Amino acid sequence: MNAINIQNQPDRYVISIDKKAVSQEFMLELLERLQIEQLAQKVNFDDSILALGEEINTNWWQQNKHRFIKED
């Protein structure tokens, strides 16, 4: 038997994972990530969200780069 088995049913996927293959903590983290991804797919952002993210990253870097790069 494989460590991971996927069954394709008419209305759902059924996934079984051998307990010896992964820890319970890993499974909980994986399920949380799947839930977040599923919720993110429901959100309808336009491309302006990418520009906002880039602006936030740029501002953060300008305020914090001294913590990572020693400037002369």
Domain ranges of the chain: 4-65
Contact 21, 4 (CB under 8 A): yes
The one-letter amino acid code at 33 reads: R
Residue spans of the chain under pLDDT 70: 1
The pLDDT of residue 1: 61
Model confidence pTM above 0.75: no
Residue that the structure tokens 């307990």 belong to: 19
Classify 43 as helix, strand or coil: coil
Quote the tokens at residue 61: 């870097």
CA distance 57 to 64: 10
Match 């491309």 to its residue by tokens.
Answer: 47
